[in-house]
Structure 1
Amino acid sequence: MLAGSGLVALAQAGPVAAQDGRTVVPLDSGWRFFDGDAPDAARPDFADAAWEQVSVPHTWNRVGYYHHDLGGTNRAETVDKRQGVGWYRLHFAAPKDAAGKRQWLEFDAASRVAQVWLNGQYLGEHRGGFSRFRFDATAAMTASGDNVLVVRVDNTQPRAGSPTADVLPLSGDFFVHGGLYRPVRLVTTAPLHIDLADAGGPGVRATTVAASAQEAVIEVAVRVANDGAKAAKAQVRVSLVDREGREAASAMIPAYTPAGKTSEISAKLTVANPHLWQGTADPYLYDLKVQLSGAQGQLPGAEGQLSDATSQPYGIRTMAFDPARGFLLNGQPYRLRGVGYHQDRDGKGWAISRADVEEDVATMREMGANSIRLTHYQHGQDIHDLADRAGIVVWDEIPLVSTWTLGAKKDPDPALVANAKAQLTELVRQNQNHAASAIWSIANEVDFGNSLPAFLFGGADGREVDPLPLLGELQKTAKALDPSRPTALATCCEARAFGNDIEIPTTAVAADLGGANRYFGWYFGKAGDLGPHLDGLRAKRPQQPLAVTEYGAGGALTMHTDNVLGGPADSRGAAQPEEYESYIHETALAQLDARPWLYATWLWNSFDFATTVRTEGDAQDINTKGLVAYDHKTRKDAWYFYKANWNPAPMVHITSKRYVDRAYPVTDVRVYSNAATTDLLLNGRSLGVKSDCPQMICVWSGVRLDEGTNALVARGTHAGGTVEDSASWTLAPETARHFVIDAGTLLAARSEGRVLGSDNWFEGGLTASLDKPADFGKPSVPTAISGTTDRGALATYRSGTFSYRVPVADGRYKVTLWFATDAGQKVGTFDVMSGRKVLLRKFQPAIPASGAVAEARAFTLKAKGELALDFVSGTTDARVAMIEIERLR
């Protein structure tokens, strides 16, 4: 800071990125922020000393927290979900060499609408919260003394008539943070420069039109802007330089640009024996250098002074998509195994650093992912740069999500269509030189039809609102901008899984590639339905390459199940145990791997992320489908499942580590291992060695735990040595003697003073609950049940004709069966047996006049190895809500 002035001296504001002919200075420190509206704040003399001091990147929003101490630091009292206006002000001194130069203010993003003033002069507005934009600040800049930069941002949730009503996204299952959440810079150039008004792009566009081991051809377009007073005759030199600094190809092209105009020149580079960009195996990058030389009034062809220059990493590769062979990189099949990715994280929101993104990329690469779907909006240059360097293939997307009209309108406003095209233009222009960028996605889940979920506001009736006209406009725009890459979109609802009466538009045909978001076993259907459904889509459109763009399930760090089939997962509420998330991914991956014609699969999601439409699992305002928690550090079991299958580095991982206090004395132990052989030890004794485990999942069934501490060690042996993992579980002595099965549920209820287990050891039957289920953002509604202190356990039950085979030690047992019924229960009887022994004959549980009531029946049984319980329907379905098993001494 300059003493007593409040000015940021640019020479001291941080590292200056100096390129030949231009200077780039970060504007990161010295900002003042006001959390709210301040109508007069654009005035240069406005008093901002009382405003909060912040650095950029910055957001005021903090959204989403867990109801525990794992995976994040946000808490209810630290959350800030306000959406609206915020103001930023910065005092800075002009660069010393500003005279005669052009000055540009560059914003990597501002959410979601930004208005910019410099020294009281209005520079303009940018509508869209995800893309880079620039304003020419030359006329407003003070060459010496104080310059005052003011930015007003507005992330108001769009509503009909609101100031953001025509700015995408209108809706979505993610939170739109506000602020200057990506870097801001001052860029200084000569009057003759490479265009900085190219939709936020670099002003240089390069396309590999052909590439083989022998030769590559690259077409380059350079936009030359002349902001001088006279016409300029200049030279543009384009070159490709390898890692050793050798020039692989170059071209020199004359450029004539009238005063105040921009011209575009074209060059062709031919590279002999190119080193191709080969994905994660060899992500080789050249440097694409562009040098602009010349001066106003210069004679054609004369050698002039360097006026501007840029340099970008550039990978030479070809990409293609085939309905039978999948994705082809440089002509060879290359299976894309990827993840979806949102840019927010605990404690920071969207104001993340490059180091944060580097950590995320390292986490995804360690898991074995080689592709990222950048959802559901344009992500910053950091992730694109890092993807280039890591060899990660990227799906880019604009924020056209679920809805595109507000109120009762049947058609999108012209301003909304224009905004969608503008955001698509910025996406393409800013990212088309990246080797990693493979696909331009024009929409996500705009095919809900009249099944639009209640949590997505607005929109006219789905029978009347047709997305195809807007998608057609975006398809044409994308092809005009970049015909070298395919378009795609992600669909949700073609399966008609929400009901047979749902009218669903077929939107997949609007883009070149198909992408299916499918949550079988979570929101609808069964886990095994995914593969047959994909076969049906392929048969329906055999000429369109198909990918799975989302699949997965919620996974709560503090919730655990003893049997993933014990009851329904609660996709909109609490029951989201970590083990069920793993089950969905295990079953999905088996089906996806069996279909090599899929060009890609992107699981949902790499990390938990913020969304204010959800109250689920053990979190508030968090989508729990991440394989890593909101802190981007705490890894769930499913992450290790993919690492075992996708990363060849030897590893072992014992699952359910966080399920410490065990509910049952007998359990299966599951270990993800890609080692040649894996031994499991319990308190030092081996439980056996396994090898060639399907899907790298080794299971030791029916392991009898010791009372007290159970120290587990999984030891994998491979050619280079051994790898180990450990876990510690506890079996309380009272649980070893007396354990309880909470029937009909995936997630056992809590009980005062004891641990209940989820439904287990059953065969047949269906599950049900007396409670009203949860919905998006709305908790379940419990039913009061008299006659019990375990209301939660008694609310769920198993019904039909079914049996239990419970593994126990030889001996005598007291078995207590609990039943709960409400006033709507059908009158009827059923039988309960234990082998040939009749426990209950033509049993009719009590039916209350109102509400619900519980009752119990107790029996003494002998067991040898297992306890048998058989429930046989009679004039009504058999049922049981809870089973207590106590060993008698």
Structure 2
Amino acid sequence: MRTTTLWNDKWIFVKEGKKQEISLPHTWNAVDGQTGPEQYYRGTCIYEKTFGRPVFNYGERVYIEFRGVNSSCKVFWGEKEIAAHDGGYSTFRVDITDFLQDENLIQVHVSNEPNGDVYPQRADFTFYGGIYRDVYMVIVDEKHFDLDYYGTNGLYVTPRIIGDDAEIEIKAYVNGGDSVLISVDGVSEQKFPVMEIDGRKMVHGKFMIADVHLWNGMADPYLYNITATLFDDEKECDRIYDRFGVREFSVDAKKGFFLNGKSYPLHGVSRHQDREGVGNALTRKMHEEDIDLILSMGANSIRLAHYQHDRYFYDLCDEKGIVVWAEIPYITVHMDAGRENTISQMKELIVQNYNHASIMCWALSNEITLQGITEDLMENHRILNDMVHEMDPARYSAMANLFLLETDSPLVTLPDIRGYNLYYGWYVGEMEDNDRWFDEFHKNHPDVAIGLTEYGADAVIDLQSPKPEKGDYTESYQALYHEHMLEMFAARPYIWGTYLWNMFEFAAAGRNEAGDPGKNHKGVITFDRKQKKDAYYIYKAWWSDEPFVHLCGRRYHDRIEEETEIKVYSNQKSITLYVDGEKYATKNGEHVFKFKVTISGTHSIKAVSGIFSDEMEIKKVSEPNPLYFAPDKKVKNWFDVPAGIEEKEGYLSINSTMAEIQAVTEGKAIIDHIMASMKKETAGGMGEGVRISEAMQQMIARQPLVKLLQQGGMDTDSEEVQAISAALLKIRKI
């Protein structure tokens, strides 16, 4: 019978000729992948392990199982290459039986170097190199459940609800034996014969569960335990264990998401798997902490971006009742030579995770149209979409689309469901443009189910402002942004799901922003998981039933204004504010409670609702605290006095909207010149073939030119902007 042994200890890691003994999981980018582009190492390193001949019986096979090696690797036995794998986020196995000696040396050459055929290659997150998940030695009988097909465990369970009962379809792939006994705890035990179909040995059968206990999301995430035992005549050859849940997902273009036939709005977050000082070499305890933090905010769905996550994390989602969006790292830039890799990564994602009750869709790609749509890209998506439906007709195919993708593109409606990644109110436009975009989409495409798969605003937790504005990287603006987004969702029940980008800060080695390089700061919890930003609590106020009171702005301690705003987030209906121990005011409402307080020294502030309370201290100062402002010159500090913008009656200016300027021939020529210049300066520009959507065009048309210049990183005091201003002041308005 099968034995599985953790094989993480006593590895030698070799980087640029230097050796050190390590234990797995391990990544060589745990530090440099989080500190900005200058130090980030992308290359090839070697992991090697010396070991004696394991104890196993004649006729048994010995496999080494790798749960995650990023991103490509070759396995050597001495000088001989015995296996290779491309794709850094999935399980693969190597049969070493025929190579074993009394003393053995295995080497794994691992590369995260750039290439043209293995995804991902360009994305806003760090591609950590290493053997960063667990490794196991698996010893099995020569007749066993399939271990050689894309990392599968060989067992597939498909439940279908029929009234109060459920039909359970079983498929199990084997490489020998004559029958498989399927046992479901307390329900059924049946033996099915092995047959050969399309060249593969398998069993295929069905049985019923009467009065089935449904997997019902977070309210009741019930799972059935299943055991499959392979027999050869009377001999028990192999045994595997798994779990499954019986549930039904559906999406309605007008009413949103449904679980088991009942409306179930998806309040989702996105998650990257890495954390500070660890990279992606997470322990089980870290995975558990992540899911507990997500649940504490009240989320009931997770987009596991942008790749296959650890098997253990999917297990946790099953157990907790979280609905999961699963995807492959086919992201940002389509590579003509990468098609086979997208196919293999999708097969691995599906076969390795098929039995997880939590997974509701297999996503084909993310923001893949950055450089336009080619026929090769379209064909790649058609192949993946058809493959998803063939391999798993019970789940949805899905896509997350770049906001620039035209909503009438055939790519939008190719998969069963889709979302857009919209950043109005951060990178472009204003918060309200999110509302307009969804209203327009739903009006023009009422029968197309639409979700919001990314949205967010960066916030470095120490940056603060009493007058937050887009682009300032303050905790204050991020909170305002998410206040608006939650109100927007509540008014549009047809949005089948929303996924906050991101639950946690994560490493993006190419970034260097706001004085804290190497990170994407959109997380509502810090990279080390130790601090919750104010925005975390506005979600808790909307989504969680756990009573709480939270005072915003506790990190904005030193305040220069004489009258300051005290803001409280809570899921209670009434908040009483105390200042210096004295009752100040009581307000009734929902989610957000605001008070104006005059300050003159150091004050204690306390917010109370019944037995729930929160306290902080603030102080009136005469000069702004410089620690509250980003050193990056592109970030405009709230205390800066803006340069005077000259205007002349009847003439254009940089305060005029884009529509006003483009309505005049001379003005349009200036805009065309500016846009061409910006495009040249933008690394990896949008490329030919990308059309700006109608909603995007309307949003741009409403914007004053000065805002777009600021978003493009131009200083309004610069000579270039002053020259644009002077030119516009000579052109009469229409």
- TM normalised by structure 1 equals 0.70
Q: Aligned with 2:59: secondary structure? A: coil
CA offset at residue 580 of structure 1? 1.0
CA offset at residue 758 of structure 1? 8.7
Q: What does 1:343-358 align with in structure 2 at a 5 Å threshold?
A: 343-358=273-288
Partner of 1:238: 182
Q: Assess if the C-alpha contact under 8 Å between 1:680 and 1:686 holds in 2.
A: yes
CA offset at residue 464 of structure 1? 5.5
Out of 710, 720, 727, the position equivalent to 2:616 is 727
Q: What does 1:2-81 align with in structure 2 at a 5 Å threshold?
A: 21-36=1-16, 51-63=19-31, 81=40
Q: Aligned with 1:592: secondary structure? A: helix
Partner of 1:69: none
CA distance in 2 between partners of 1:184 and 1:697 (Å): 48
Q: Aligned with 2:167: secondary structure? A: strand
1:154 counterpart letter in structure 2? S
Kindly, what percent of the aligned residue pairs are identical?
30
Partner of 2:218: 280
Out of 203, 207, 219, the position equivalent to 1:269 is 207
Partner of 2:386: 476
Q: What does 1:166-565 align with in structure 2 at a 5 Å threshold?
A: 166-212=117-163, 214-226=164-176, 232=177, 234-241=178-185, 247-255=186-194, 262-294=200-232, 298=233, 304-405=234-335, 412-413=336-337, 416-449=338-371, 462=372, 467-494=377-404, 506-564=410-468
1:97 aligns with 2:52: no
- In terms of Rg, which structure is larger? 1
CA distance in 1 between partners of 2:266 and 2:383 (Å): 29
The structure-2 alpha-carbon separation of the partners of 1:586 and 1:211, relative to structure 1 and needing over 3 Å to count, comes to: farther
Partner of 2:44: 85
Over the aligned positions, Cα root-mean-square deviation in angstroms equals 3.3
CA distance in 2 between partners of 1:471 and 1:626 (Å): 30
Q: Assess if the C-alpha contact under 8 Å between 1:119 and 1:140 holds in 2.
A: no
CA offset at residue 540 of structure 1? 3.2
Partner of 1:150: 107
CA offset at residue 305 of structure 1? 2.2
CA-to-aligned-CA distance 1:129-173 (integer Å, 9 cap, x gap): 11101111111123xx32222101111022xxxxxx211112111
CA distance in 1 between partners of 2:408 and 2:589 (Å): 44
Out of 535, 554, 558, the position equivalent to 1:661 is 558
Q: Assess if the C-alpha contact under 8 Å between 1:100 and 1:190 holds in 2.
A: yes
CA-to-aligned-CA distance 1:558-597 (integer Å, 9 cap, x gap): 2112123xx5x23xxxx21111111111111111111111
CA offset at residue 64 of structure 1? 6.9
CA distance in 2 between partners of 1:274 and 1:192 (Å): 34
CA offset at residue 601 of structure 1? 0.6
1:692 aligns with 2:589: yes
Out of 67, 74, 89, the position equivalent to 1:115 is 74
Q: What does 1:869-880 align with in structure 2 at a 5 Å threshold?
A: none
Q: Aligned with 1:220: secondary structure? A: strand
CA offset at residue 825 of structure 1? 5.0
Identify the structure with bigger relative contact order (alpha carbons < 8 Å, sequence gap 6+). 2
Q: Assess if the C-alpha contact under 8 Å between 2:35 and 2:519 holds in 1.
A: no
The structure-2 alpha-carbon separation of the partners of 1:766 and 1:704, relative to structure 1 and needing over 3 Å to count, comes to: farther
Q: Assess if the C-alpha contact under 8 Å between 2:32 and 2:41 holds in 1.
A: no
The structure-2 alpha-carbon separation of the partners of 1:427 and 1:76, relative to structure 1 and needing over 3 Å to count, comes to: closer
CA offset at residue 670 of structure 1? 0.6
CA offset at residue 746 of structure 1? 11
CA distance in 1 between partners of 2:569 and 2:558 (Å): 21
Q: Aligned with 2:285: secondary structure? A: helix
Q: What does 1:741-780 align with in structure 2 at a 5 Å threshold?
A: 749=637, 756=639
Q: Assess if the C-alpha contact under 8 Å between 1:494 and 1:506 holds in 2.
A: no
Q: Assess if the C-alpha contact under 8 Å between 2:459 and 2:478 holds in 1.
A: yes
Q: What does 1:575-590 align with in structure 2 at a 5 Å threshold?
A: 575-590=472-487
CA distance in 1 between partners of 2:377 and 2:514 (Å): 33
Q: Assess if the C-alpha contact under 8 Å between 2:424 and 2:434 holds in 1.
A: yes
The structure-2 alpha-carbon separation of the partners of 1:506 and 1:125, relative to structure 1 and needing over 3 Å to count, comes to: same
CA distance in 1 between partners of 2:343 and 2:237 (Å): 33
1:193 counterpart letter in structure 2? H
CA-to-aligned-CA distance 1:38-77 (integer Å, 9 cap, x gap): 7xxxxxxxxxxx7211111100003579xxxxxxxx7689
CA distance in 2 between partners of 1:177 and 1:424 (Å): 20
The unaligned stretches of length 5 or more in structure 1 are: 1-20, 39-49, 66-73, 159-164, 227-231, 242-246, 299-303, 406-411, 450-461, 497-502, 751-755, 779-797, 801-818, 829-846, 848-873, 877-889
Q: Aligned with 1:619: secondary structure? A: coil
1:651 aligns with 2:548: yes
Q: Aligned with 2:130: secondary structure? A: coil
2:110 counterpart letter in structure 1? V
1:700 counterpart letter in structure 2? F
1:103 counterpart letter in structure 2? V
Partner of 1:807: none
CA distance in 2 between partners of 1:651 and 1:372 (Å): 23
Q: Assess if the C-alpha contact under 8 Å between 1:665 and 1:735 holds in 2.
A: no
CA offset at residue 493 of structure 1? 2.7
CA offset at residue 642 of structure 1? 0.5
Higher strand share: 1
CA offset at residue 285 of structure 1? 1.0
Higher helix share: 2
The structure-2 alpha-carbon separation of the partners of 1:777 and 1:352, relative to structure 1 and needing over 3 Å to count, comes to: farther
CA distance in 1 between partners of 2:655 and 2:52 (Å): 70
CA offset at residue 99 of structure 1? 3.3
Equivalenced residue count is 665
The unaligned stretches of length 5 or more in structure 2 are: 648-652, 657-676, 685-703, 707-715
Q: Assess if the C-alpha contact under 8 Å between 1:746 and 1:758 holds in 2.
A: no
CA distance in 2 between partners of 1:481 and 1:76 (Å): 40
Partner of 2:659: none
CA offset at residue 504 of structure 1? 9.5
CA offset at residue 400 of structure 1? 0.8
CA offset at residue 506 of structure 1? 4.9
- TM normalised by structure 2 equals 0.84
Partner of 1:788: none
The structure-2 alpha-carbon separation of the partners of 1:776 and 1:562, relative to structure 1 and needing over 3 Å to count, comes to: farther
The structure-2 alpha-carbon separation of the partners of 1:104 and 1:353, relative to structure 1 and needing over 3 Å to count, comes to: same
CA distance in 1 between partners of 2:723 and 2:88 (Å): 56
CA distance in 2 between partners of 1:773 and 1:262 (Å): 56
CA-to-aligned-CA distance 1:288-325 (integer Å, 9 cap, x gap): 1111122xxx4xxxxx1211111112111111122122
CA offset at residue 757 of structure 1? 7.8
Partner of 1:4: none
CA offset at residue 98 of structure 1? 4.2
Q: Aligned with 1:613: secondary structure? A: coil
The structure-2 alpha-carbon separation of the partners of 1:426 and 1:463, relative to structure 1 and needing over 3 Å to count, comes to: closer
CA offset at residue 347 of structure 1? 0.3
CA distance in 2 between partners of 1:121 and 1:517 (Å): 46
Q: Assess if the C-alpha contact under 8 Å between 1:767 and 1:799 holds in 2.
A: yes
CA-to-aligned-CA distance 1:373-432 (integer Å, 9 cap, x gap): 011111110110100011111101111111113xxxxxx12xx21111010000000111
CA distance in 2 between partners of 1:612 and 1:629 (Å): 16
